[in-house]
Amino acid sequence: EITKEQQALMKIILDAYNRHQIPQDVAKKLLQDQYSAEENFLLLTEMATSQVQVLVEFTKNIPGFLSLDHEDQIALLKGSAVEAMFLRSAQVFSRKMPKGHTEVLEARIRKSGISEEFMTPMFNFYKSIGELHMVQEEQALLTAITILTPDRPHVKDQHAVERLQESMLDVLRKLCALQHPQEPQYFARLLGRLTELRTLNHYHTEMLTSWRMNDHKFTPLLCEIWDVQ
């Protein structure tokens, strides 16, 4: 019982999700053959910077987002960037990239100065996303829902964000019922991943701190979105 306007919303979100992806020439750099921790960190920094740009373009296509208070738009992007990038990189792992990106991305993440204690929760998350076998529509909606989380730091008009998120959640709930009729708890499992994502934020903050203590440099865009340097 997905309504006509919900179908329209779904199409807009899916088109935006597919239209905005890391350019292939950037992604292909993962396949080059230098594998030092420094080289891996630089490549991952380039991936993250490109992914943030993609994320901003995707977010601008979420119906209603550009009508939110401008400072709240920034607060939502800053607050959700890491989670959206975990979701996106998780799709790379679960979609078994033909060009072998999966293996090289994992190898570079594992050897980029991230301490062991963060590897386990990070790769457990990647595994738990892979096990869901999400379709594109679910991935796109889940990313939009993550961005439209009302209780990010410094969001002033949380109700305005809540209204947008709720309409996305309603479409996702109906889509899950259609896509996974034999699995009534599938929608709840998807939302459970959003909770797991928020725990990864804390690990990520510590990852940033330890990189900075080892004098690793980030790009201006990442410094701005992560309030570092």
Write out the residues near ligand 59G by the rule CB under 6 A. 21-22, 27, 30, 41, 44-45, 47-48, 51, 82, 85-86, 88-89, 92, 101, 105, 109, 218, 222
Nearer to ligand 59G, 47 or 148 (CB): 47
User: Alpha-carbon distance 157 to 165, whole Å?
Assistant: 13
The answer to whether residues 112 and 39 touch, using CB atoms and an 8 Å cutoff, is no
Give least dist CB 225 to ligand 59G, A.
10
Give least dist CB 200 to ligand 59G, A.
8
What secondary structure does DSSP assign to 79-148, as a single string? HHHHHHHHHHHHHHHHTT-TTSHHHHHHHHHHTSS--HHHHHHHHHHHHHHHTT---HHHHHHHHHHHHT
Give least dist CB 113 to ligand 59G, A.
8
Nearer to ligand 59G, 48 or 161 (CB): 48
Nearer to ligand 59G, 68 or 105 (CB): 105
Nearer to ligand 59G, 65 or 218 (CB): 218
Give least dist CB 143 to ligand 59G, A.
11
Give least dist CB 173 to ligand 59G, A.
26
CA neighbor of 152 nearest in space, from 201, 93, 111: 201
Nearer to ligand 59G, 171 or 225 (CB): 225
Burial of 221 (0-12, 13-18, 19+ CB in 10 A): middle
DSSP three-state, residue 150: coil
